[in-house]
Amino acid sequence: MEGAQLVSDVQRLSESLGELLEPVAEPVFIAVSGLPGAGKSYFCSKLTEKLPFIILESDALRKALFPSPSYSPQESSRLFGAVRLLIERLLKKGNSLILDATNLSERHREYLYSIADRLGVKLVLVRVEAPPGVVYERLKARRENLGGKSDADWAIYKRMKPSVQKIRRHHYAVDTSRDITPVLNKIVREVMH
């Protein structure tokens, strides 16, 4: 990727976030993974009710860079190259954040691990899931409402499902079709210690 293009992309993504929170001495990075419709954005919004974190939502960031996204591999590569640099810059400035993205492959999560390791930042990993029947209904409702940031539908869910890889590091698993409060509380306790 071009250096100037990357800098410009990161600037556009940064501007799309609006007003940032007050920096902290020891920022924390929470990386959320899961298939479309699993409830990642819902989970992240509930988490920010308890923790003052910036949410980097990949669907919203994609549309900030690409108003009519194609979801091509080149577009995704450009987006996530910029997102990774944005994560690094925000953490260096003392901003705690949550990355809300599918993050299905360990190869892609390795970039996140290395950022946290290199900066000495606490990394909390969360796998969000829900039963396929629940996901189907959510995606159907999302399509009918046309209000969401995500364009993913049931066909995309089914196409992505086989690419889910096990998270090799310690992580929290949460089923959003159930009460998520116990997992939220565990994460808040880990972040506060």
Q: Give yes or no for a contact between 64 and 11, defined as CB atoms under 8 angstroms apart.
A: no
| Paired strand residues for 51 | none
Residue 146 has pLDDT above 70, yes or no: no
Digit-coded pLDDT (tens) for 4-15: 999 999 999 999
For residues 39 and 162, what is the distance between their CA atoms, to the nearest angstrom? 18
Asked whether residue 1 carries a pLDDT value surpassing 60, the answer given is no
pTM, two decimal places: 0.91
Q: Domain spanning 3-192: which superfamily? A: P-loop containing nucleotide triphosphate hydrolases (3.40.50.300)
Dist. CA 110–CA 189, nearest whole Å: 25
Asked whether the predicted pLDDT for residue 147 surpasses 80, the reply is no
pLDDT at residue number 71: 85
Q: Please, what sign has the CA dihedral across residues 145, 150, 151, 153?
A: negative
The pLDDT value given to residue 104: 86
- Residues 86-103: tens digit of each pLDDT: 999 999 999 999 999 988
Please indicate whether residue 152 or residue 36 has the higher confidence score (pLDDT).
36
Query: Residue 1 CB: number of other CB atoms within 10 A?
Result: 12
Task: Determine the average pLDDT of the residues in 111-125.
Answer: 96
What's at 13, amino acid-wise?
L
Checking if the pLDDT of 144 tops 80, the result is no
**CB of 162 within 8 A of CB of 156?**
no
pLDDT over threshold 70, residue 189:
yes
**pLDDT tier at 39, thresholds 50, 70, 90:** very high
